[in-house]
Amino acid sequence: MQQCLNIDPGKCTGCRQCELGCSFAHEEFFSSSRSRIKVFDLHDQGLFVPYTCTQCADAWCMAACPVDAIQVDADTGAKTVDTGVCVGCKVCTIACPFGTINYVSATGKVAKCDLCGGDPACVKACPTGAISYIDSDTAGFSKMQQWVDKTAAQHNVQT
């Protein structure tokens, strides 16, 4: 079974614990700018949106890398950066249509979400369950369930 991060913006309070968990897991310090997951504040709509790499199966970053520094983690399916190989050319950052792989000037390498080897720190840090790590093949199931419940409720009201 392959798992993926599933994000429910409706549950996000904008606390950025995910960013702190991420930076701590990878760097042992707290830094929003070094986090591989970012929370966006859509202030006027009253909405917060955590945003990170979706681990494309056929990943643009991986295809673009001229030195094959980006590899597939066999266990999780995550696309991971081998910092020993990465030359910091940034071609992957251009290739990624989502902006979720980024150059870090402090290290001279790129960084992206690596699913923490299958135990994502952002999921553990999130206090509201806005980020979960679930079976990617049935990621839509809970949404289906919500619609089923909603439809059922409407049906009950009408009858």
Partner 1 sequence: MAWNQKVLRVDLSNGSCVNEALNMRWAKKYLGQRGLGSKYLSEEIDPTVDPLSADNKLIFVTGPLTGTCASTSARYSVVTKGPLTGAIACSNSGGQMGAELRMAGWDMVIFEGRSAQPVYLVIRDDKAELHNADGFIWGKTVWETESAIRAKHGDSQMRVAAIGAPGERGVLFSCIVNDQHRAAGRSGVGAVMGSKNLKAVAVRGTGCVEVNDPDQFMQATNAAKAVLAEHPVTGQGLPAYGTQVLMNVINQSGALPTRNARDVQFEGAENISAEAMVEKRATDNKPNLVRNAACFSCTIACGRISQIDRSHFTVKERPEYWKASGGLEYENAWSLGAANGVDDLEAITFINFLCNEHGLDPITLGATLSAAMELYDVGAISDKDCGGIKLKFGDARALVQMAEMTISGEGFGKEIGQGSKRLCEKYGHADLSMTVKGLEFPAYDPRGVQGMGLTYATSNRGACHVRSYTVGSEIMGVPVKTDPHVTEGKAELVMAVQDATGAFDSAGVCIFTSFGWTLEDLAAQVDAACSGEWTVDKLVEVGERIWNLERKFNLAAGLTGKDDTLPKRILKEAARTGPAKGMTCRLDEMLPEYYALRGWTKDGVPTTKTLNRLKL
Positions touching partner 1 (CB under 8 A) are: 13-17, 20-21, 23-24, 27-34, 43-48, 125, 127-128
Would you call 150 helix, strand, or coil by DSSP? helix
d(CA 121, CA 88): 25
Q: State the DSSP H helix or E strand holding residue 132, giving kind and residue range, or none if neither.
A: strand 131-135
Name the residue nearer to partner 1 (CB basis): 20 or 70.
Answer: 20
d(CA 109, CA 105): 7
Name the residue nearer to partner 1 (CB basis): 113 or 122.
Answer: 122
Name the residue nearer to partner 1 (CB basis): 47 or 148.
Answer: 47
**Min CB(37)–partner 1 separation in Å:** 14
d(CA 150, CA 117): 36
**Min CB(107)–partner 1 separation in Å:** 12
**Min CB(15)–partner 1 separation in Å:** 4
**Min CB(3)–partner 1 separation in Å:** 23
d(CA 141, CA 95): 31
d(CA 109, CA 124): 26
Name the residue nearer to partner 1 (CB basis): 27 or 73.
Answer: 27
